[in-house]
């Protein structure tokens, strides 16, 4: 299960992604959440795992779009 919040231009969206296998192939299902649902899932987090915080910066360099990831 992956829980994520994404903020851009002062607006935030929330989503949860679950993964299961059908035979050898992984199948991911993504569902949009509202703030209240997101906070309910946050309360259920597994504290034995370390969260990963990733920040992505996107910018143009000439005519080329670039992304910079910071963990």
For 7-53, write each residue's pLDDT tens digit: 889 999 999 999 999 999 999 999 999 999 999 999 998 889 888 88
Predicted pLDDT of residue 63: 94
Number of residues in the chain: 71
Instruction: Give the pLDDT of residue 37.
Output: 98
Is pLDDT of 54 > 90? no
Whole-Å CA distances, 71 to 8, 14, 18, 41: 18, 20, 22, 23
CB atoms within 10 A of CB 17: 12
Identify the three-state secondary structure at position 62. coil
pTM over 0.85: no
């Amino acid at each position: 299960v992956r829980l994520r919040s994404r903020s851009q231009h002062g607006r935030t969206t929330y989503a949860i992604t679950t993964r299961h296998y059908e035979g050898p192939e992984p199948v991911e299902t993504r569902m949009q959440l509202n703030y209240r649902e997101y906070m309910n899932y946050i309360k259920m987090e597994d504290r034995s795992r370390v969260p990963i915080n990733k920040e992505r910066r996107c910018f143009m360099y000439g005519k080329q779009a670039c992304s910079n990831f910071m963990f």
